[in-house]
Structure 1
Amino acid sequence: MHKALLIPAFLLTATAAVAQDAPAHADGPGPNMVIEVAAADGSSKGTITLDLLEDKAPNHVARLVELAKAGAYDGVVFHRVIDGFMAQTGDVEHGKQDGDTSRAGMGGSDLPDLDAEFGDVSFDAGTVGMARAQDPNSANSQFFIDLAPAPFLDGQYTVVGQLVEGWDVLSAIKKGDAAANGSVEEPDYMLKVTIVE
């Protein structure tokens, strides 16, 4: 099942932005997801800390926590990264760095899809949203982190968190080919994902 962000091309062109300053989001009650990012050669690029918004999307946050605690996100690539827009990862089915990633972005987990939990949080730089297919109730394991404000996603995708540390690391994730919808050759990946309660 394809879990891509379904965004018209004209909106992507309009969002290609200038360099974005680090977002200033306060760390809330958590839980926090800590992602150690590695380059394709395995060298560490640093860590990203995401404050998961359990009060806004409890079912989606529970899914991220469950998969992270099970080690399912370890080794999963950032398969789609669009400069000035977002970095997408989380395909635990087809996105393992040490396997065939040609179908990364088309899978999920062996858990059922989730019903949307749209809320009042706007997509800004550093906002974490759940990727889905055309059906709003099709999010599963994949998520994306915005590299710039994307208010056109509001009310269309479930917001699950906010970046609180590691903007420089997020900004340095290897970008994909804009002509290929952000597909990344030899992508960076999530070396280790942990949950801090």
Structure 2
Amino acid sequence: MHIIKKNFFILLLSFFSCSKSGHKVEIISRPNGEEINIEKLKTDIGGLSTASATVKTVHGDIVFRFYTKAAPRTVARIMQLIQSKFYDGLLINRAIPNFIIQTGDPTGTGTGGSGFKLKAEFNELQHIKGTMGMARGTNKDSADSQFYISLTTLPHLDGKNTIFGQVVDGLDILHKLSKGDRIISITLNFQDFSAN
């Protein structure tokens, strides 16, 4: 138990780092150990980072980019989970036509998670086809590891869930995914990670 607590503490230290001003800065590390400040990644005019990730499925690949400035803590956590291979092999635990597909539950029941709750980062972004947001319960700060991808415009979800990403390639794959399909892997495309 002592080792688990120690490892969890080390994980939290590597996930959150404090700057000299005391403001929390979200940091992840490249495979070579180089640290990356999430909030300093380059973004386009719409707020999407140049940094991307690829979701491999049995139906093909889906590439998405991150809203690093709108949801920095959430993006850092998702990146950390991707790096730890948390999502590899997980099932699509929810697939509702013309609504969403959802994954990120290691139990496959729709009730599981990584055990680390995230503070909500609701923002002004809107749910369009391919928007990626955090699934949560009735408590606004209950998001964990489960995320969804919208299959259409969903204005009734705007401002109620943390939007952290947008699919930029593979939108056609979304409609092929069904409940029970397996995520082969999600990988960060580090060649796209450059700072301002």
Q: Normalised by the size of structure 1, how large is the TM-score?
A: 0.70
Partner of 1:169: 173
How large is the Cα RMSD of the aligned pairs? 1.4
In structure 1, stretches of 5+ residues that fail to align are 1-25, 39-44, 96-103, 175-183
Q: 1:134 aligns with which of 133, 138, 150?
A: 138
**SS at the partner of 2:73?**
helix
- Runs of 4+ aligned residues of structure 1 deviating over 3 Å after TM superposition are none
Structure with the greater relative contact order (CA < 8 A, sep ≥ 6): 1 or 2?
Answer: 1
Q: Hey, what does 1:108 align to over in structure 2?
A: 113
Q: 1:37 aligns with which of 54, 57, 62?
A: 57
| CA deviation map 1:164-189 (0-9, x unaligned) | 00011111112xxxxxxxxx3xx112
The Cα shift of 1:27 comes to 9.3
Cα distance between partner residues in 2 of 1:31 and 1:113 = 24
State the distance in 2 between where 1:63 and 1:118 align.
15
Quick one: which of 73, 80, 87 aligns to 2:101?
A: 87
Select the structure that is richer in helix: 2
- Contact kept, 8 Å, 1:31 with 1:54, in 2: the verdict is no
CA distance in 2 between counterparts of 1:168 and 1:152 reads: 23
Number of matched pairs: 145
Contact 1:126 1:146 in 2 (8 A): yes
Percent of matched pairs sharing the same residue: 37
**When the two structures are superposed, what TM-score results if normalisation uses the length of structure 2?**
0.71
Runs (5+) with no aligned partner, structure 2 = 1-45
Please, which moves more after superposition, 67-76 or 28-37? 28-37
CA contact (8 A) 2:48 2:68 kept: no
Larger Rg: 2
CA contact (8 A) 1:35 1:192 kept: yes
- Secondary structure of the residue that 2:75 maps to in structure 1? helix
Q: Secondary structure at the match of 2:117?
A: coil
